[in-house]
Amino acid sequence: MPAREMPSILAVEALSEAVCLLRLACTQVGRVATTIRATPAIFPVNYAVLDEDVVFRTGEGTKFDAALSRAVVAFEIDGSHEGGRGWSVLVIGRAREITDRATEARADSLGLQTWAPGERKHYIRIDTDIISGRRVIAVDAVIAPSPASLAGAGS
């Protein structure tokens, strides 16, 4: 019994840091994960990249409080394609408010717009401590016949 060819299977592949940074630079919406009284909380944000760090605008509230306390947060972006294929990038680091005028001016030059209504006057920066990514890809596969099917093929 000959080996049979399957069209493809899905496999997970790690993304390099350079590819992760490229994905971050090419996307505008992500999710910030923090905690509220030890309970996970995830918020969508519009963002930009400044010196390989994620920057977003926010008003008073949970995300701003996390920045004031320099909490460790997670930031995630992803994309998907037909057939269950896709990718994700994760950034982990401390959140902090941008307060110096020079860095704030650089953040202003990024043209960061927010979708959410209301005043969003605070720039928050996530200092990238860890960046990782993965993608699900199609891999061609050849399935070899099992020993049992080979034994039955000769009878």
Rounded to 5 degrees, what angle do the CA atoms 82, 86, 92 make? 160
pLDDT for residue 1 is more than 60: no
Partners of 125 in beta bridges: 55, 96
State the pLDDT at residue 3. 53
**Residue count (the chain):** 155
pLDDT for residue 7 is more than 90: no
- Each residue of 84-110: pLDDT tens digit? 789 999 999 999 999 999 999 999 999
Close Cβ partners of 29 (under 8 Å, ≥ 6 residues apart)? 44, 45, 46, 47, 77, 115
Strands 122-143, 86-97: pairing kind? antiparallel
| pTM, entire model | 0.79
Domains of the chain: 14-135 (2.30.110.10)
